[in-house]
Amino acid sequence: MVPTTSYLALSGILFALGMIGVLTRRTAIMVFLSVELMLNAANLALVAFARSWGDPTGQTAVFIVMTLAAAEVAIGLAIIVAIFRKRETTNVDDLAALKG
């Protein structure tokens, strides 16, 4: 059977990809999706650990995290849409009025 470490490796890669996405993507949507990716990396890690410890807590935790992620999507999209309505853009680089 597959060892826990490889699951962790995968989740690590996913997390890294998410981070890179956050750093590189310009549109709010994509940034946000990369964040989701990071969350799923976390989920994967949780599941893997749960399996290695052989106790269900971790897996239940995953469900909760998923729920939170969903809630986040709802709020996030709402905000993004609201902004898009006003400015016809979701390019985060256009939002730099507040600085210094």
* Intra-chain end-to-end CA distance of the chain, in Å: 54
Q: Does 70 bind another protein (CB under 8 A)?
A: no
Read off the tokens for 95. Answer: 């939002």
Q: Does 80 bind another protein (CB under 8 A)?
A: yes
Q: State how far the Cα of 40 lies from the Cα of 18, in Å rounded to an integer.
A: 9
Q: Does 66 bind another protein (CB under 8 A)?
A: no
In angstroms and rounded to an integer, the radius of gyration of the C-alpha atoms of the chain is 17
* 27: β partners: 91
Interface ranges with another protein (CB under 8 A): 8, 11, 15, 18-19, 22-23, 26, 28, 31-32, 35, 38-39, 41-43, 45-46, 48-50, 52-53, 55, 57-58, 60-61, 64-65, 68, 71-72, 75-76, 78-80, 82-83, 86, 92-93, 95-100
